[in-house]
Structure 1
């Protein structure tokens, strides 16, 4: 099986959300117009919240339900927690 990834990014600690803030960081400047995307992504939410994935419709996540995607799912280019003050932790493989 071919290797898919180049690295991991994620939270350094439990963080509190800012309303509608993008969790996927911008691509490094040396990527020449390539957008950062995660082929694996996990979110752990400590309170109930609503998320938007890749600009899609809002999705409700119950307390500590979390979200997990892997290489069989669509790449994650955008992940937004809609509400403020939601404690969360995330990690992604790119």
Structure 2
């Protein structure tokens, strides 16, 4: 298996509040031909919530303060949605 190395970081510049089922990963710059694929990704939540990752229909429960993260050995993250409204969170990714 190859090793993936990211080039740049992006993420929350301040704490955010979720809107139900809204994509938290921003659209890429207009001159890109594809979206972000994060080889490292971390999500931190301040309330219990469920999330949808990469378009899957099966939500994952994330306990308050537990968070969620992936590294280069995992499939990249290209979509991340919080199912519930009003969940305080931050995120960061390396692509």
* TM bucket normalised to smaller: over 0.9
What is the root-mean-square deviation of aligned Cα atoms in Å? 1.5
> How does the TM-score come out when normalised to structure 1?
0.92
Residues 3 and 39 (structure 1), Cα distance of their counterparts in 2 relative to 1, 3 Å cut: closer
Q: CA distance change for structure 1 residues 80 and 3 in 2, over 3 Å: closer, same or farther?
A: closer
Aligned residue number for residue 76 of structure 2: 75
TM-score (norm 2): 0.91
Counterpart residue number, 2:18:
17
The residue that corresponds to 1:43 in the other structure is 43
Structure 2 vs 1, CA of residues 30 and 48 (structure 1 numbering), >3 Å: closer, same or farther? same
**Regions of 4+ moved over 2 Å:** none
Gaps spanning 5+ residues in structure 2: where? none
Superposed CA offset, 1:3-56 (max 9, x none): 72220110011111011110111121111x222110000000000000000011
SS in 1 for 2:7: coil
CA contact (8 A) 2:4 2:39 kept: no
The count of corresponding residues between Structure 1 and Structure 2 is: 93
- Report if the CA contact (8 A) 2:51-2:81 is conserved: yes
Q: Which runs of 5+ in 1 are unaligned?
A: none
1:35 partner SS: coil
Q: Match for residue 27 of structure 1?
A: 28
The offset of 1:2, in angstroms, is: 7.1
